[in-house]
Amino acid sequence: MKSVVVGSQWGDEGKGKVVDWLSERADVIVRFQGGHNAGHTLVIDGVTYKLSLLPSGVVRKGKTSIIGNGVVIDPWALLSEIEKVQKQGVEVSPDTLKIAENACLILPIHQKLDAASETLRGTNKIGTTGRGIGPAYEDKVGRRAIRVCDLADPASLKEKLTSLLAHHNAILSASGSEVMGLEDMFDALCEVAKRILPHATPVWRLLEQYRREGKRILFEGAQGIMLDVDYGTYPYVTSSNTLSGSASLGSGSGMHTIGYVLGITKAYTTRVGAGPFPSELADATGEKIGERGHEFGTVTGRKRRCGWFDAVLVKQAVTVGGITGIALTKLDVLDGFEELKICTGYTINGTRYDYLPAATELQALAQPVYETIEGWSESTRGARSWAELPAAAIKYIRRIEELIGCPVAMLSTSPNREDTILVRDPFLGV
């Protein structure tokens, strides 16, 4: 059985905890898109783990973690992350971590190009993490990328690296930036190859083997559907497809073998960086939500923008993402509010919309239409059953289900993995 976990908003929905919770039931955990711009925070037995490239299941013994071909990999960042979790007592070896041999690499020149591009945009910055993700994906579709398998053939690697640098150095030179040399980068890649190649394998074959053996496979997405390069708030998006369908493309696993799709959904809405955000609260209420929710990016540390729950966006994500059920997170952050609001539509130039249109200009003009619902004074933090939830909190949850057209399969009431209410098992569908 294969299940996929994706974010249904703009990322930062709490996927790390949910994936960790589910990984106890899984045998194999797969990352299938994005890079080290993603950040997942796990809290296990009082120990906090901050992961970017490594699948969340890596912290659990007896599990196989896989980085698929849809991920762009900064090998130095990966090795640094491995060393960090190893110091925390986590075993990471070629037996526990597999890397797709056809995954593309992020090189230092990609980070330089990323920073230069953001600078040239001036006030129109997209808000990238500056880690070279976009330029690496550009090289992938431009058919000049360096892949993991290339590290095994130094002669071919040098030839491909020469071609890649010729392309990018011309751009850097034209923009007045310092170009990058071949030999230093080649030597650095040859050195890192010794530690990366033992993990490399044809992941697609391995996943088919696991499927035939009846193993439970969990696919872990990064970012969120509203950051999808096609269906997100373009151009303020990430550089990959974040929908559940990417689990197949980014790992070599057939779509027909994937079952349940779980959409991680925060009980309110947040966003990092620039871009439209119709339900954003630029007031004391927004500040209060951010402070209570500790809304700072795992990777960048940037403060997240906060707002009321946007049912329009989540319903859109449910539709395009093929989401079967949602895991509602951070409900406890809303404890103590006398009333809550839910965005149920938009007005744009006097016209009512029940979806967010694709045009950037229209998105920027979207004004939220709110429905007000009663809040609750009791605490939901740490609740592990419906019986422990206030009636008003349950009413809020049920209204969200109605508006997005999708049931709540899981409910998270604190960062601790045990503080979870399971309604439907994503592996069993019941």
**DSSP characters over 208-239:** HHHHHTT--EEEE--S-GGG-TTTSSTTSS-S
Please report the DSSP string for 267-319 in residue order.
SSEEE-SSS--TTB--SHHHHHHHHHTT-B-TTT-PBPEEE-EEHHHHHHHHH
Backbone angles phi, psi at 195, to 5 degrees: -100, -20
Paired tokens of 286 = 């927004």
Q: What is the pLDDT of residues 376-413, one digit of tens each?
A: 999 999 999 999 999 999 999 999 999 999 999 999 99
Instruction: Determine which one of 12, 74, 310, 419 is catalytic.
Output: 12
* pLDDT of res. 39: 72
- Summary count for the chain: helices (H), strands (E): 12, 20
CB-count exposure of residue 57 (10 Å: 0-12, 13-18, 19+): buried
Q: Using CA atoms, how far apart are residues 168 and 171, in angstroms rounded to an integer?
A: 5
The 10 Å Cβ neighbour count of residue 403 is 19
Q: Using CA atoms, how far apart are residues 85 and 343, in angstroms rounded to an integer?
A: 40
30's enclosing H/E stretch is strand 28-31
* pLDDT of res. 77: 95
| 205 Cβ contact partners less than 8 Å away, ≥ 6 residues apart | 252
For residue 19, give the amino acid letter.
V
Q: What is the pLDDT of residues 293-320, one digit of tens each?
A: 989 765 666 789 999 999 999 999 999 9
Q: Using CA atoms, how far apart are residues 253 and 68, in angstroms rounded to an integer?
A: 10
Paired tokens of 53 = 């490239």
Q: What is the DSSP letter of 106?
A: P
Q: What is the pLDDT of residues 74-111, one digit of tens each?
A: 999 999 999 999 999 999 999 999 999 999 999 999 98
* pLDDT of res. 325: 96
- CA Rg value for the chain: 22
**What is the mean pLDDT for each group of 10 consecutive residues in the chain (430 residues)?**
91 85 90 86 79 89 95 97 94 96 96 76 65 93 97 97 93 82 95 97 96 93 94 94 94 83 97 94 95 78 91 98 96 96 98 97 97 96 94 97 97 86 75
**How many residues are given for the chain?**
430
For residue 130, give the amino acid letter.
G
40: annotated active-site residue = yes
Paired tokens of 17 = 């905890």
Instruction: Determine which one of 20, 36, 40, 199 is catalytic.
Output: 40
| 271 Cβ contact partners less than 8 Å away, ≥ 6 residues apart | 9, 10, 277, 280, 304, 305
Given the structure tokens 């797709």, which residue do they identify? 100
* pLDDT of res. 125: 62
Q: Using CA atoms, how far apart are residues 225 and 321, in angstroms rounded to an integer?
A: 7
Paired tokens of 355 = 């979806």
12: annotated active-site residue = yes
| 229 Cβ contact partners less than 8 Å away, ≥ 6 residues apart | 237, 238, 239, 240, 241
Q: Determine what percent of the chain falls in helix, strand and coil, rounding each to the nearest 5.
A: 40, 20, 40
pTM (2 decimals)? 0.91
